[in-house]
Amino acid sequence: MLTVEDWAEIRRLRRSEGMPIKVIARAMGCSKNTVKQALRSDGAPRYVRAPRGSLVDEVEPRIRELLRAWPTMPATVVAERIGWQHSIRILRDRVSDLRPAYLQPDPASRTTYLPGELAQCDFWFPEVSLPVGFGQTRSPMQLPVLVMASGYSRWLSARLLPSRAAEDLFAGWWVLLERLGGVPKTLVWDGEGAIGRWRRGTAELTGDCQAFRGTLGAKVIVCKPADPEAKGLIERANGYLETSFLPGRTFTDPGDFNAQLQGWLPKANARRMRVLGCSPGDRVEADRAAMLTLPPVAPVTGWRRSQRLPRDYYIRLDSNDYSVHPAAVGRRIEIVADLDRVRVFCEGAVVADHPRCWAHHQSITDTVHAQAATALRRDRFTVVAPAATEVEQRALTDYDIAFGLRLDQGAS
């Protein structure tokens, strides 16, 4: 068989040197017909093995009949119906080749996003156990990490939250939007309870979500159940966090987790993505320019409520009790808490300021508050002893006379 080198040399001698076919055949040591064949061919010669028959060839008509009646029939069921006694692998390959001819084509469309158009949000639950103090640890399902990915730039933002409660969710969401520097026109969520749900074929947003999106001026979409393609962007982002951020890391507390996460995100947003042909950092400025601007007044987020301070001068927030200065006992106070701190105000003055406790069922006491309570109790219950007075003591004979007893008369 003529080799590729000989074929190339024959064509060179003919086209570049202008040699006659007879001279080329003599120089290459081959026949003139071989030279003519090499000059007529458009491509280099290659070895092609003659196709051999397969065991599946004789049963292919029966396979086609089954697929024509039931295009989605599994290969294992096909093997059972035709009495296949050989390797299932070669039968499965043939069924895979034949099946598309009997199925309705279902092409997938490529999704593209305009700058500032959309961002997807979801919770990621890292597979770690995190110490939170007081001898407690949080399991993976108790560690919600709020993740947001922009559609156009693929810019990734994330933060570990104390809980999935609406107060913490919207506070964390606002933090991510501030870091992004703008508000995407559409924000996509899965069926998170604090956001909304599908009911009777329509999506219903919660009151908290309506208030939040109204301040932002954005649209919030809740994905339909069992529709993973609608939020594939954020699912890939969660997978990237799972495989690229988490391995090999240890964390001492939630603050350490967030510190390491914020230190890693700039590197993640600087990586080149094949789907973009560049890094998210190269497109984020165009993304921000097309987004809605942040509202001049921040939305109301976090924990906020008003109550009267009870006598034990503690308030409960997210299963934990926090002390308040006892001078405010019986007065109306306002509790304001975010992701990091718990503050209590009374007539505009701060009467409590504690770091947010991530453990459960704990009592957080400020020593100043405890000392003030002790002093107030001492002042309230101090009793002044009365002055000593002279009390007359009666003679015992007076009692005898009163009861008619005259011991001296009986004795005489």
Domain assignment of residue 13, given as a range: 4-40
Query: For residue 383, what pLDDT band results from cuts at 50, 70 and 90?
Result: very low
What span, in angstroms and rounded, lies between the C-alpha atoms of 302 and 163?
Answer: 11
200 & 131 share domain: yes
pLDDT given for residue 350 in this prediction: 95
Percent of the chain with pLDDT over 90: 69
Q: Flag whether 172 is in a domain.
A: yes
Q: Flag whether 349 is in a domain.
A: yes
pLDDT given for residue 407 in this prediction: 54
pLDDT in tens, 304-319: 999 999 999 999 999 9
80 & 209 share domain: no
pLDDT given for residue 194 in this prediction: 92
Q: How many domains does the chain have?
A: 4
Is 90 exceeded by the pLDDT of residue 390? no
pLDDT given for residue 91 in this prediction: 93
Give the pLDDT mean for 17-36: 90
223 & 269 share domain: yes
In this structure, of 33-37, 329-333, 389-393, the range with the lowest mean pLDDT score is 389-393
Q: How far is CA 11 from the centre of its chain?
A: 63
215 & 176 share domain: yes
370 & 325 share domain: yes
Is 90 exceeded by the pLDDT of residue 295? yes
pLDDT in tens, 341-356: 999 999 999 999 999 9
Q: Flag whether 162 is in a domain.
A: yes
134 & 231 share domain: yes
202 & 323 share domain: no
Q: Flag whether 354 is in a domain.
A: yes
Q: Which residues pair with 292 in a beta bridge?
A: 183
319 & 365 share domain: yes
Q: How far is CA 157 from the centre of its chain?
A: 10
Is 70 exceeded by the pLDDT of residue 406? no
Q: What is the mean pLDDT of the chain?
A: 89
In this structure, of 104-113, 200-209, 352-361, the range with the lowest mean pLDDT score is 104-113
Identity at 186, one-letter amino acid code: T
128 & 274 share domain: yes
Q: Flag whether 395 is in a domain.
A: no
Give the pLDDT mean for 329-349: 94
pLDDT given for residue 408 in this prediction: 56
205 & 284 share domain: yes
Q: Flag whether 50 is in a domain.
A: no
pLDDT given for residue 231 in this prediction: 83
Is 80 exceeded by the pLDDT of residue 286? yes
Q: What is the DSSP string of 207-271?
A: HHHHHHHHHHT-EEEEPPTT-GGGGHHHHHHHHHIIIIISTT---SSHHHHHHHHHHHHHHHHHS
Q: Flag whether 392 is in a domain.
A: no
Q: Flag whether 175 is in a domain.
A: yes
Is 90 exceeded by the pLDDT of residue 228? no
Strands 219-222 and 186-189: parallel
What span, in angstroms and rounded, lies between the C-alpha atoms of 14 and 339?
Answer: 81
279 & 194 share domain: yes
171 & 256 share domain: yes
Stated length of the chain: 412
Query: For residue 385, what pLDDT band results from cuts at 50, 70 and 90?
Result: very low
pLDDT in tens, 53-74: 888 999 999 999 999 999 999 9
pLDDT in tens, 102-161: 998 877 666 788 999 999 999 999 999 999 999 999 998 999 999 999 999 999 999 999
pLDDT in tens, 81-115: 999 999 999 999 999 999 999 998 877 666 788 99
* Helix 75-82 / helix 88-98 crossing angle, nearest 10 deg: 110
Decide: helix, strand or coil at residue 39. Answer: helix
